[in-house]
Amino acid sequence: MSKLNVLITGSSGMVGQSLQQYIAQYNLRHKNTKNSSPNYYFLTREDCDLTDKVKLREIFKKLKVNFVIHLAAKVGGLYMNMKYNVEMFMENMKINMNVIELCHEFNVNRGVFCLSSCIFPPEPKSFPMKEEYICDSPPHPSNEGYAYSKRMLYIMCKHYNQQYGRDYICVSPVNLYGAYDNFDINNSHLIPGIIHKMYLTKYQEGEYKKDTYEVLGTGKAQRQFLFAMDFACIIFKILWNKDIDKKNMLINICSDKEYTIKQVVQLIAFNLDYDIHNIVYNNKYSDGCIKKTVSNKLFRKFFPDHKFIPLENGLDATISWFEKNYNKPRFRK
Ligand code: GFB
């Protein structure tokens, strides 16, 4: 019997890289099943621009795709989303429509599609937010473009499941962080942005030759965090857990922990050995959504024993990775 083929989009990104590592480790631990284990094809933007449906169709045809893990997206932190709602909506809509239409065209029956907790309503009927709250009211104005493109991906999956009997499962992680993240100072998410800027301030580099470190916003917003390697492991398990199907096609992925921005900034400062008394808060910057706590009740129904990597440990691993890779071209302006 020919091997099954799994196509993974977005493989050069943080989650894609973590998934490659996770699968490599998994295959090492299961060497005796090597002959029957699937082929995993890690697609990167160098391999194919996913907004080009003709090119992507050739890949689906060549690889004889049976399963898809769709991670690719145009992503960025709060301030990038506020600036580029048009690009965030248009590019992600094109990518998502191409991927899901080709999944259907090539009869891919099962796939995992990545959303985000930031697409949920900012003022829900209650916290923590259950999966069914996702379209109750508009998303936070700061990231409407990205949020609606992801909500449309959810609607596409939902109706391909209902109309064509697919099992397209949407996973909705909270704020992700880890190695291979985008540490760009202006466009990154919270954790990589703070690590990079606090590192520069600590070593007084360039424009960060300052006595204080400035946190953008009040520091009062609350966030949940998920280490990318944790998420990679969960995506892999969901793909192969046939108990998870169209009846539970949207699953929040998070632990029970929530932190204020201030707490996270201080954890990073302790790790970088930067004096927290030199940290100031600039409330001229938006906090974005002040709270977006999601529930992990459904996740725990399927994975009651999953142990999440604690934020302190994940930050330690991320900062070590950053310091080891800092001098590579990826970080230099
Ligand atoms: O990760 P982040 O940029 O995005 O976090 P969101 C923004 C929060 O961190 C705000 C504070 O409360 C900011 O005030 N913050 C403090 C900073 N300092 C910094 C900094 O140096 N850089 C950044 N970026 N934030 C995103 C969505 O929302 O969530 C995306 O916009 C994405 O679409 C992501 O889905 C998961 O958590 O606010």
Q: What is the per-residue burial (b if ≥16 Cβ within 10 Å, else e) of 70-103?
A: bbbbbbbbbbbbbebbeebbebbbbbbbbbbebb
The helices-and-strands tally (H runs, E runs) of the chain is 10, 12
Q: Distance, CA 193 to ligand 1 centroid (Å)? A: 9
Q: Which of 79, 84, 133, 146 is catalytic?
A: 146
Q: What is the pLDDT of residue 32?
A: 80
Residue 47 in tokens: 């391999």
Look at ligand 1, atom 23, and give the residue with the nearest C-alpha: 190
221 vs 219: CA distance, rounded Å: 6
Q: Distance, CA 60 to ligand 1 centroid (Å)? A: 35
Please report, for residues 81, 131, 267, 280, the alpha-carbon distance to residue 194 in angstroms, rounded to integers and kept in the order given.
17, 30, 11, 13
- Kind and range of the H or E run holding 215: strand 213-216
Q: What is the pLDDT of residue 333?
A: 41
229 vs 233: CA distance, rounded Å: 6
pLDDT digits (tens, 9 = 90+) for 191-228: 999 999 999 999 998 899 999 999 999 999 999 999 99
175 vs 40: CA distance, rounded Å: 26
pLDDT digits (tens, 9 = 90+) for 104-115: 999 999 999 999
Residue 65: what residue type? V
What's this model's pTM, rounded to 2 decimal places? Answer: 0.96
Residue 132 in tokens: 């069914």
Contacts of 229-233 with CB under 8 Å at 24 or more apart are 229/18, 229/21, 229/22, 229/178, 229/179, 229/309, 230/308, 230/309, 230/314, 231/15, 231/18, 231/171, 231/173, 231/176, 232/15, 232/18, 232/19, 232/21, 232/22, 233/22
Task: List CB contacts of 20: < 8 A, sequence separation 6 or more.
Answer: 11, 40, 42
Q: What is the pLDDT of residue 196?
A: 96
DSSP state of 107: T
330 vs 327: CA distance, rounded Å: 8
Residue 146: what residue type? Y
**Catalytic (active site) residue 148:** no
Burial of 224 (0-12, 13-18, 19+ CB in 10 A): buried
Series of mean pLDDT values for 10-residue runs along the chain (333 residues):
93 97 94 84 97 98 98 96 97 98 98 97 97 98 97 98 98 98 94 97 92 97 98 98 97 98 98 97 97 98 98 98 83 48
Ligand 1 residue neighbourhood (C-beta within 6 Å): 77-79, 81, 116, 118, 142-143, 146, 175, 188-190, 193-194, 215-217, 221, 223, 261, 285, 287-289
**Nearest ligand 1 atom, CA 217:** 14
Rounded to 5 degrees, what are φ and ψ at 251? -130, 125
Percent of the chain exceeding pLDDT 90 equals 94
Q: What is the pLDDT of residue 225?
A: 98
Q: What is the pLDDT of residue 33?
A: 76
Q: What is the pLDDT of residue 327?
A: 76
